[in-house]
Each structure stands twice: as C-alpha cells, then as structure tokens.
A and B are shown apart, each in its own frame.
Chain A
Amino acid sequence: MVEQIVFYVFAAIAILSGVYVVASQNLVRSVFMFFVTLLSVAGLYVFALADFVALTQIVIYVGGVLVMLLFVFMLSSKDSLDNIVNLKKEALSANRIPATIITIALLVILIYAILLVDFEQLDWIKSNKLLIDKAQTSNVHNIGVNIMGRFLLPFELISILLMMTLVSAAHLARKEPNND
C-alpha cells in the first residue's frame, strides 16, 4: 500500500513537472524543472527493481547532461535572452494547435494500444513472476556479469563511441584559427 502511494506520488511529480518543462515560457525555469522530472523518473526506476539504472540516471543525467545544458544555455543566451524578454508570449512557441492535436492523437493511440494487451496473461511474464520473489539479491552483480559476458562487444563499442564523441565535440567547439 505504501509502495503504491509513493509510486503514484513520483508519477504525479514526473508528469506535472514534465508539463511545466514543456509549457513554461521561462527557459531557465524549465531547464531547472527538468531536474525534478529526471529525479522523479529515477525514482520510478527504483520501483521497477532497477536500482542501478536509477543511480546511473542520477549520475549521468542530473550530474552530466543537465550541467552541460545549463553551461551551453549560459554561454549562448545572453543575446537571445534579451530577445526573448522583448518578444510577445505567443511568439515564443509556434504551431501550438497542430502540436496539441498531434500530441493528443498519439497519446490516445498509445494508451489504446497499451490497454489492448493483457500483460498478466503473457507467458514470459507469468513464468518470470514466480522468480521475482526468489531473487532477493541486488541485481548489480547480475548486470556486471552480463556486461562482461554476453554484452562485452557492445560495451567495448560504446567506449569507442564515447571516444569519438569526445574528439568530435572538442573539434567542433574549438575556435577557428583563421578568424582570429
């Protein structure tokens, strides 16, 4: 019972702060509200028995991605912030009515599709439900074994990809020597 209450509180925080992120006219507020969304989504991961993914989400998203977003925001938006203050509210975001129609249509389709399936009757879910209660140990050990076993090739590939990202980001962000 307590578990369900906490779950729905996290879900409400995630959805409401997501709405605020999307609908807010204030850019800085929406970036900071995105912190709240990410943290509450990380809380939802814990309820899906994924504590390691939740910690990774907090470390990488909240610690890395959002700080980077704020960094670029502060670097780039001195002029654009001044422009935005002068703009009217309607001019800040376009295509509102078509976007609302598309969004609501997609939401209805998704919810209809989810309601169509009875997940409790699927075979693999039924057979694995018995195992959940037995698996008391943390799954961090299991994740480590799997990464170093079956997922070794993607793991190594992702390290190469991160290296490529580092090099390309540093290359793209440098000052051009000819212009100076």
Chain B
Amino acid sequence: MISLQHFLFIAAVLFCLGIYAVITRKNAIQVLIGIELMINASILNLVAFAKYDVINNNGQLFALFVIVLAAASVAVGLVIILNFFKRVKTIDPNKANSLRG
C-alpha cells in the first residue's frame, strides 16, 4: 500500500516543474507544455485522494472532467498560437506586446 503523501510529493514536484517552464521558456508551445504539466499534477492529486473514496468516486469523476477541459483549452490555445504566428512570425510570448499601453 503506497501512502497518500508520496503521490502528493510527486504531484508537487511536477507542479513546480510546470511553473518553472511557464516562467522561463520563450516559446509559447513550451509554455503550454508547462501548463499541461501543472494540470497533470493537479489531476494526480485528485486521483490520489479518490483512492480513499470508493463509493462515490468523486475525485476520479473530477479528474475526467479536468482532462476534458484541459484538452479543450489546449485546442483553443494552440489555435491562438497559430494565429499569433501568422501575424508576428514568431512564437515568443515576449513579442506579444502590441496591446501594451
């Protein structure tokens, strides 16, 4: 029996890796990958707690919904990246400064 804390440690490490990617990368696709890593860490938390929820399975159901929402957000995000690339000819998020006041 693996204790709940080890799942949470792994999820914490994955979440921090995702944050590091989001802060440092200069490539919109890698920023998106960082966001996906963070979403995966949170799904791992949900699933780890759902291990002890045998009757209702609330955590696993929420994990399924989160996976679907993440897929939808990635679809829209990638289309936005494509549009951005069409306009600016780069996918560096630092170059997206035409809305700066």
Q: How far is the CA of A100 from the CA of B24 in the complex (A)?
A: 9
State whether B40 touches A38 (Cβ < 8 A): yes
Q: Is the CB of B51 within 8 A of A50?
A: yes
Neighbour of A11 across the interface among B6, B63, B90, CB < 8 A: B6
Q: Bound state CA distance, A131 and B92, in angstroms?
A: 51
Interface residues of B in 1-53 (CB under 8 A from A): 2-10, 12-21, 23-27, 29-30, 32-34, 36-37, 40, 43-44, 47-48, 50-53
Asked if residues A125 and B52 are in contact (CB atoms below 8 Å), the reply is yes
Contact B36 A34 (CB under 8 A): yes
Distance from A178 Cβ to chain B, minimum over Cβ atoms (Å): 14
How does the 8 Å CB contact mask read for B54-88 relative to A, with 1 for contact and 0 for none? 11111011011101111110111011111101000
Given A64-B71, A72-B82, A139–B57 Cβ distance below 8 Å? yes
A124 touches B72 (CB 8 A): no
A103 touches B16 (CB 8 A): yes
How distant is the Cα of A111 from the Cα of B26 in the complex, in angstroms?
28
Residue of B nearest to A69 (CB): B29
Q: How far is the CA of A77 from the CA of B81 in the complex (A)?
A: 11
Asked whether any CB of chain A lies closer than 8 Å to the CB of B89, the reply is yes
- Residues of A whose CB lies within 8 Å of any CB of B are 3-4, 7, 11, 14-15, 18-19, 21-22, 27, 30-31, 34, 37-38, 41, 44-45, 47-50, 52-53, 56-57, 60-61, 64-65, 68-69, 71-73, 75-77, 79-80, 83-84, 91-96, 98-100, 102-104, 106-107, 110-111, 114-115, 119-120, 124-125, 128-129, 131-132, 135, 139, 142-143, 146-147, 151, 154, 158, 161-162, 165-166, 168-169, 172-173
Residues of B within 8 A of A (CB): 2-10, 12-21, 23-27, 29-30, 32-34, 36-37, 40, 43-44, 47-48, 50-58, 60-61, 63-65, 67-72, 74-76, 78-83, 85, 89-92, 94
